[in-house]
Amino acid sequence: RKWVYQYEEGRADMKGLLGGKGANLAQMWNIGLPVPPGFIITTEACKAYWSDPEGLMDSIWPQVRDAVSKLEERTGKAFGGAENPLLVSVRSGAPVSMPGMMDTILNLGLNEATVDALAAASGDQRFAWDSYRRFIQMFSDVVLGVDIGEFEFLLSRVKGGQGCSYDHELTHQSLRKLVESYLRLLDSKGIKFPTDPWEQLRLAVEAVFKSWNTPRAVTYRSIHQIPDDLGTAVCVVSMVYGNLGDDCGTGVCFTRDPSTGERRLYGEFLVNAQGEDVVAGIRTPRPISELKSTMPEVYEELVKLTELLERHYRDMQDIEFTVERGRLYLLQTRNGKRTAKAAVRVAVEMVREGLITPEEAVRRVTPDQVEQLLHPQLDPTLKFDVLAKGLPASPGAAVGKVVFDADEAERMGKGGEDVILVRPETTPDDIHGLFAARGILTSHGGMTSHAAVVARGLGKPCVSGCEALDIDLARGVMRVGQREIRKYEVITIDGSRGLVALGALPLVQPSFSDDFRELLDYADGLSRLEVWANGDTPEDAQRARSFGARGIGLCRTEHMFMQADRLPVMQEMVASVTKEERIEALSKLKVMQKEDFVGIFRAMEGLPVTVRLLDPPLHEFLPKVPEMRERLEALEAEGKGDGPEARKIRVLIQRAESLKEANPMLGFRGCRLGIIYPEIYEMQVEAIFEATVELMSQGVQVYPDIMMPLVGTKEEMRRLREMVDSKAKEFEARLGGEIPYMVGTMIEVPRAALVAGELAEDAEFFSFGTNDLTQTTFGYSRDDAEGKFLAEYVRIHVLPDNPFHVLDRSGVGRLMELAVREGRQTRPDIQIGICGEHGGNPKSIAFCHKLGLKYVSCSPFRVPVARLAAAHAAL
């Protein structure tokens, strides 16, 4: 079986077998870019390793030996050689990028003998010993499981002894002493450091295979929904050296700014350093633009090669490079992680540059990212005291309590508290804390530090490299100058500008960029589903329209009655005993309701507005009985027990008691109200038509769709339809023209779905009210279930998702399918949409697309997410 691949045998599209890193190294090699020679052990080998470690290692080993011989030929160096020794890096690379999650070892092949040979070959003792101590450190950490902190301690002691603060200032004598102390440390633990390069290689390869299953890698995969059975490939790459002096260095760069998407080379580098130094935040790296003056030729070449890579991959690239004595090498390229904002800008600009099609642009932005764009920001004009400044590592703003520990952040976050995780720097072991926090603040590390990269991926605000912070983990405080900030104090961070402030600053919703609008226009061009919005006020309607909604799918009239100036009139209506009293109150309400409709219809000019008639049980409009009783007692105590207010309260209390139901959700509500008290729905229909007639006579196009809630029988639908039609006739006569209205029903109880064919005889449209339909299909109260058992049901996998968030396809969805099919049999052109909460959920939107609905309707803020999700469903 073939376990080992040469670069020549690989291609960018072989990520499944060679891992992302390996496939891209092969691709770069094959298009002639300067990549150090190497070879790749497949992910298949990793998978086979789990079931039979020894057997697998034995079976791949001859192929590895062959590949190393080829490497020796290519580089003119000898593995374990006493002259010009070949050193390699052993690198993990999974099919899906999992930055920082698995292990890499550099400078493998060094021992007592080869270190001298390396010194002789390079003419640089310091370099050779620096490489050796790095190797021992990494190998011990990754393979031998020794805590890296113990080495760091020895390192800082030697630095102290020599009176210097940076690694690269250490002399070769100090480094040599350091290596000796490292080996002594291992000795004292009874660990013998392997000196045979072949043994080193074998152990390192095994360690990479094993690193697939470390807890942090497993957590990362579960958060990002990456399958556990992909396995990792292992890249063995001949070393190039960034630590050979001041004409050397290492860095990472992006072909576009990963925060904003702006087209410019963006990144960081360190002179005289190796690989991990840049990400580890040991020295603060320099911005890539400085390379222009320090190594102009290298910079020019880097610009040229990175542009070539971007055109080749037709996507923004994230590139690792190393400069060895003025020569540039590329060590990795991949599609760069980016913020939501950058994702949109890059996608749209690449369409304009002719690199990709609008369809590809839409494919590259996820509904999740759009959602992030709608996350809060600090008002850019807000004046506030800046506590400290750091790097703007991941945009957006967050407010939360300071917590210094990832475990605690996770605990509090899960408990529903807003926390900001504050650390000197983060490591992959902190991943659960980053996940649970609202935002991340670190005192060290650059824009490509672990915290920054992970935060951008998660769409959380992050300020990194905030050097003014002096964090005392042991005492649980941080200091900025004189000010001491304790654990649990509230701070605000602004990851867009790199600012930290005390207390909770107000956050605002961001506005849309032109790029974003353009992307959503591409999306609309690709989708079959329209996106409508739920909105109860003219403001909602305006917002919905500006977000691109093509109609109002649900206007809840009862919300209009809840407003302070209307509630008393509504209560008058509810308290009415006789029909005459009720009609009098209703006629006052009608005036107000008509004004609302005028505003909404005007805002939605030319687009359909679906108005749902009164739905909640009437008692919801009355104050709570105990409150009324209290007020009554107070009045009586004041001697006003016979006054007009007291009398009114007594009536209301009596009415509330008579309306009381054991199970109001299944009670006297929805169209049942309209059937028993026809005058209520008649008033509402009149208000709708009055508004329509008024606007139409001004030349405004209005399309009112009148929707009945909670219908369950054909007779309900027939009566209500008849009522609307006869009202319509009156108003059409008044207008002297036709009103383009429709009458339809919600499908929100199982019976409505089951008799949809009959309902469609009178209903011209259906709208799935999936909140109630889910509640009534499962028999779960949507107001109580979540906290009582539903969250736990999801946690222990009794249910895959909360059905109130993600539509239940096999149950509720089946009823929907049935209703669509039978509704269409009766009335082929019936208009069908959904207006439940699910209308804004990407997974549920995909299902609605499959059912062939005309539209999904969701809250105005979710309209952009839904527009993109509707396009994705169609791709």
Residues near ligand ADP, by CB under 6 A: 36, 89, 91, 100, 104, 106, 237-240, 275-276, 320, 322, 331-332
- Nearer Cβ to Mg ion (234/298): 234
Rounded to an integer, what distance in angstroms lies between the CA atom of residue 395 and that of residue 168? 33
| 224 catalytically annotated | no
Rounded to an integer, what distance in angstroms lies between the CA atom of residue 642 and that of residue 637? 11
CB-CB contact of 285 with 446 (8 Å):
yes
Rounded to an integer, what distance in angstroms lies between the CA atom of residue 198 and that of residue 368? 46
Rounded to an integer, what distance in angstroms lies between the CA atom of residue 771 and that of residue 781? 10
| 450 catalytically annotated | yes
Point out which residues bind Mg ion (CB under 5 A): 104, 332
What's the gap between Cα 562 and its chain centre?
A: 35
- Nearer Cβ to Mg ion (93/860): 93
Return the residue nearest ligand ADP (CB atom): 275
Per DSSP, the chain holds a count of helices (H) and strands (E) of 36, 33
Q: Which residue has the tokens 């809060």?
A: 376
Q: How far is the CB of 318 from ligand ADP (least distance, A)?
A: 10
Estimate the share of the chain in helix, then strand, then coil, as percent rounded to the nearest 5: 50, 15, 35
**One of 168, 432, 444, 450 is an active-site residue; which one?**
450
Q: How far is the CB of 36 from ligand ADP (least distance, A)?
A: 5
Residue 240's binding partner among Mg ion, ligand ADP, none (Cβ under 5 to 8 angstroms by kind) is: ligand ADP
Among residues 841, 768, 777, 784, the alpha carbon closest in space to that of 807 is found at 841
Residue 716's binding partner among Mg ion, ligand ADP, none (Cβ under 5 to 8 angstroms by kind) is: none
- Nearer Cβ to ligand ADP (268/530): 268
Q: How far is the CB of 240 from ligand ADP (least distance, A)?
A: 4
- Nearer Cβ to Mg ion (104/610): 104
Among residues 282, 276, 283, the alpha carbon closest in space to that of 252 is found at 276
Residue 36's binding partner among Mg ion, ligand ADP, none (Cβ under 5 to 8 angstroms by kind) is: ligand ADP
Q: How far is the CB of 197 from ligand ADP (least distance, A)?
A: 15
- Nearer Cβ to Mg ion (137/770): 137
Q: How far is the CB of 238 from ligand ADP (least distance, A)?
A: 6
**One of 46, 248, 671, 835 is an active-site residue; which one?**
835
Q: How far is the CB of 104 from Mg ion (least distance, A)?
A: 4
- Nearer Cβ to Mg ion (103/530): 103
- Nearer Cβ to Mg ion (104/496): 104
Return the residue nearest Mg ion (CB atom): 104
Residue 331's binding partner among ligand ADP, Mg ion, none (Cβ under 5 to 8 angstroms by kind) is: ligand ADP
Residue 775's binding partner among ligand ADP, Mg ion, none (Cβ under 5 to 8 angstroms by kind) is: none
Residue 202: phi, psi to the nearest 5? -60, -45
Q: How far is the CB of 320 from Mg ion (least distance, A)?
A: 5
Identify the H or E element spanning 6: strand 4-6
The β-bridge partners of 327 are 324
Q: How far is the CB of 770 from ligand ADP (least distance, A)?
A: 43
Q: How far is the CB of 41 from ligand ADP (least distance, A)?
A: 13
Rounded to an integer, what distance in angstroms lies between the CA atom of residue 184 and that of residue 747? 76
Residue 89's binding partner among ligand ADP, Mg ion, none (Cβ under 5 to 8 angstroms by kind) is: ligand ADP
Rounded to an integer, what distance in angstroms lies between the CA atom of residue 597 and that of residue 586? 16
Rounded to an integer, what distance in angstroms lies between the CA atom of residue 273 and that of residue 240? 11
Residue 76 CB neighbour total at 10 angstroms: 8
- Nearer Cβ to ligand ADP (91/256): 91
Residue 237's binding partner among Mg ion, ligand ADP, none (Cβ under 5 to 8 angstroms by kind) is: ligand ADP
Residue 845's binding partner among ligand ADP, Mg ion, none (Cβ under 5 to 8 angstroms by kind) is: none
- Helix pair 567-575, 579-603: axis angle to 10 deg: 140
Q: What are the distances in angstroms from CA 630 to CA 624, 653, 852?
A: 10, 11, 54
Rounded to an integer, what distance in angstroms lies between the CA atom of residue 170 and that of residue 533? 65
> HSE-up of 48 (CA within 13 Å, CB side)?
17
Q: Which residue has the tokens 């497949």?
A: 42
Pairing of strands 317-324, 327-335: antiparallel
Rounded to an integer, what distance in angstroms lies between the CA atom of residue 171 and that of residue 186? 23
Residue 442's binding partner among ligand ADP, Mg ion, none (Cβ under 5 to 8 angstroms by kind) is: none
Among residues 855, 787, 777, the alpha carbon closest in space to that of 809 is found at 777
- Nearer Cβ to ligand ADP (36/551): 36
Q: Which residues are catalytic?
A: 450, 835
